[in-house]
Amino acid sequence: MTKITEGVYFIPGQDELIPDSHAYVVGKPSSQDLSLIDVGLIGKGSHKIQSILKMGIELAAVKRIIMTHTHFDHIGCLSEIQKQIPWAELWIHALEADPLEQGDERTVYGMDMFRGMCQMQYGLRSGAFHFKVNRKLRGGESLELGGMVWEVIHIPGHSIGSIGLYHQPKRILIPGDVVYADYAIGRFDLHGANASELKKSLMRLAEREVDILLPGHHQTVEKLPPGYILKTARQWEPYLV
Ligand SMILES: [Zn+2]
Ligand SMILES: [Zn+2]
């Protein structure tokens, strides 16, 4: 785990055959009110917990888990993490929280073929991803997280309840899988995905000034060129109809 800036820490994913999403810890350590953003692939819970401990953070300070969205590569190790920090609340956008509470795993696996493959590979039964969500986000909230304010932006398209977290004072964006480095964007062919919604979401993100981009996979960027997200959206526009 590395420190991006005061109050923002990065735990790189450890990709296997299936990718393991990055995770981030946000909040000023002195606040003892930290949030873990995404957890990662099944089997990667101890990697994430060990990374937090190595930074000298006490697990007791981690008060909640906020999911950018609930795909398998982001939520896969949630039950492993919950065993280590059972007190942590779970915050997810309502459009993915409701299915998760009902045991509807279509968003988690994205497509039937992938569900079969994951269940076989990891010995998962149907209904393994059934969680109680403590706070259902809608987008537009200003979250006070460990002495920092983060805006929740609903950015559907990659998945129906994807959110971005934006910290205006330092121009930091955590966009989940909606936009990556190198002018890449998230896929838009899985359950609940929608290409034209994705275009609108990219345009919504392009309204924010972003210097630090902390996506769910691949490189993080600390000096994003001005207009980067708009340029990315424009490049992809012909495909996002
Ligand atoms: Zn995803
Ligand atoms: Zn992902």
Give per-residue burial for 27-56: e unless 16+ CB within 10 Å, then b: bebeeebbbbbbbbbbebbebbbebbeeee
pLDDT (tens digit per residue) in 78-132: 999 999 999 999 999 999 999 999 999 999 999 999 999 999 999 999 999 999 9
Altogether, the residues listed in the chain come to a count of 241
**Is the confidence at residue 167, as pLDDT, over 90?**
yes
Measured in Å, residue 23 CA sits from the centre of ligand 1 at 13
Measured in Å, residue 140 CA sits from the centre of ligand 1 at 21
Ligand nearest to the CA of residue 40, numbered in listed order: 2
Measured in Å, residue 187 CA sits from the centre of ligand 1 at 8
Q: How confident is the model at residue 161 (pLDDT cuts 50, 70, 90)?
A: very high
Ligand nearest to the CA of residue 39, numbered in listed order: 2
Q: How high is the pLDDT of residue 1? A: 81
Q: In 3D, which of 187, 186, 179, 188 has the Cα closest to residue 224? A: 179
Ligand nearest to the CA of residue 69, numbered in listed order: 1
Q: In 3D, which of 144, 117, 123 has the Cα closest to residue 33? A: 144
How many Å apart are CA 82 and CA 85, to the nearest integer? 5
Measured in Å, residue 142 CA sits from the centre of ligand 1 at 23
pLDDT (tens digit per residue) in 8-31: 999 999 999 899 999 999 999 999
Q: How high is the pLDDT of residue 122? A: 94
How many Å apart are CA 202 and CA 229, to the nearest integer? 7
Q: How high is the pLDDT of residue 212? A: 98
**Is the confidence at residue 146, as pLDDT, over 90?**
yes
**Is the confidence at residue 144, as pLDDT, over 90?**
yes
Give per-residue burial for 120-155: e unless 16+ CB within 10 Å, then b: eeeebeeebbebebeebbebeeebebbebebbbbbb
Phi-psi region of 79 (alpha: psi -120 to 50; beta: other; left: phi over 0): alpha
Find the helix or strand (DSSP H, E) in which 101 lies: helix 94-102
pLDDT (tens digit per residue) in 40-87: 999 999 999 999 999 999 999 999 999 999 999 999 999 999 999 999
Residue 125, both tokens:
């039964």
Measured in Å, residue 30 CA sits from the centre of ligand 2 at 30
Find the helix or strand (DSSP H, E) in which 131 lies: none
Q: How high is the pLDDT of residue 160? A: 98
Q: How high is the pLDDT of residue 26? A: 98
Measured in Å, residue 135 CA sits from the centre of ligand 2 at 22
Q: How high is the pLDDT of residue 17? A: 87
Residue 168, both tokens:
């205006």
Ligand nearest to the CA of residue 180, numbered in listed order: 2
How many Å apart are CA 8 and CA 56, to the nearest integer? 14
Measured in Å, residue 105 CA sits from the centre of ligand 2 at 16
Measured in Å, residue 86 CA sits from the centre of ligand 2 at 24
Q: How high is the pLDDT of residue 132? A: 98
Measured in Å, residue 40 CA sits from the centre of ligand 2 at 8
Measured in Å, residue 31 CA sits from the centre of ligand 1 at 30
pLDDT (tens digit per residue) in 178-236: 999 999 999 999 999 999 999 999 999 999 999 999 999 999 999 999 999 999 999 99
**Residues flanking ion ligand 2, Cβ below 5 Å:** 21, 73, 177, 216
